[in-house]
Amino acid sequence: MDSKQPRLNDQRERVIVIRDLKISFGDLHVLRGVDLDLYQGENLVVLGRSGTGKSVLIKIISGLLEPDEGSVNVLGQDVNQLNSRELDALRLKIGFSFQSSALYDSMTVRENLEFPLIRNVRNLSRAEINKAVEEALEDVGLSQTINQMPSELSGGQRKRIGIARTLILKPQIMLYDEPTAGLDPITSNEINNLINEVQERHNTSSIIITHDLTCAKTVGDRIAMLLDGRFERQGTFEEIFEDPNDERVKQFYEYNFVD
Ligand SMILES: Nc1ncnc2c1ncn2[C@@H]1O[C@H](COP(=O)(O)OP(=O)(O)OP(=O)(O)O)[C@@H](O)[C@H]1O
């Protein structure tokens, strides 16, 4: 399988800028000086073994956790300086696709998609809501499921609907936490393609956290590997994995299967 041709924006506008980020829990120094840039329109894959602090990083970016040191700027705003109302407004511009973001089983697909709209956007007409739901379903290629219940859908379809529910608020940044976890290779491939389609259609900037190197290779314009609390290695998939001498990188590669 070929790697993705990196899609790098000429103007290189940055939507996330993180500098010297540090956080510890007691004696556990999780992030020890993280520097990271996310450029407009790119897919950045964050790789790292379990417990290296990937979820902590996402929580800091979204203002759910405060770092001990360092700066986090998201869409031009210093996250640590925002009050709770400003943070809520910023979070509406970020789409979270988490493993735990399950659909409501008692609601149809349509109702699941309407839910974030009705809760977060005031004064929408019925026609506007219908249009937004239809567009979001088209985005994920599942228009025909609009009146179905989540229990009638496959795991991959549910995942796509979950992503549609996030896209309906037209986020500028997408954060995908292990998007292919628990999915078979064919369904994983569909989700990887969807991540690329979302990027192309909406020019969204995304961080994709994954252990899955096939996912990293398929969706990543750039890969950042979290090692010992820092992004010591950043680059294209080939750049990251071409150095056979770095034992930690090698171990990670050998742990996975990439065709
Ligand atoms: N609120 C907290 N209080 C104490 N320790 C925490 C807290 N949040 C995270 N940790 C610890 O920080 C470390 C990093 O956790 P994190 O969830 O970010 O790992 P991860 O890289 O996302 O792992 P995985 O790939 O398994 O999800 C872990 O050792 C975890 O126990």
Given a cut of 50, whether residue 259 has pLDDT beyond it is no
User: Which structural domains are found in the chain, ordered by start?
Assistant: 14-93+171-255 (3.40.50.300)
Given a cut of 80, whether residue 101 has pLDDT beyond it is no
Mean predicted confidence (pLDDT) in 147-163: 93
Q: Is the dihedral of CA 219, 43, 205, 177 positive or negative?
A: positive
Given a cut of 60, whether residue 257 has pLDDT beyond it is no
* pLDDT at 155 (0 to 100): 86
Confidence of residue 200 (pLDDT cuts 50, 70, 90): very high
Lowest mean pLDDT among 1-10, 53-62, 98-107, 189-198: 1-10
Please state the pTM of the whole predicted model. Answer: 0.90
Mean predicted confidence (pLDDT) in 48-66: 90
Mean predicted confidence (pLDDT) in 155-184: 92
Pocket of ligand 1 (CB under 6 A): 25, 28, 30, 48, 50-56
Confidence of residue 113 (pLDDT cuts 50, 70, 90): very high
Ligand 1 centroid–CA 91 distance in Å is 21
Mean predicted confidence (pLDDT) in 94-109: 86
* pLDDT at 255 (0 to 100): 60
Given a cut of 60, whether residue 10 has pLDDT beyond it is no
> Is residue 224 helix, strand or coil?
strand
Ligand 1 centroid–CA 51 distance in Å is 5
Confidence of residue 167 (pLDDT cuts 50, 70, 90): very high
* pLDDT at 185 (0 to 100): 92
Atom of ligand 1 nearest to the CA of 57: 18
Report the candidate in 133, 124, 63 with the shortest Cα–Cα distance to residue 91: 63
How far apart are the C-alpha atoms of 182 and 199, rounded to whole Å?
A: 23
Given a cut of 60, whether residue 9 has pLDDT beyond it is no
* pLDDT at 253 (0 to 100): 66
Confidence of residue 244 (pLDDT cuts 50, 70, 90): low
Phi-psi region of 70 (alpha: psi -120 to 50; beta: other; left: phi over 0): left
Which residue CA neighbors atom 18 of ligand 1 most closely?
Answer: 53
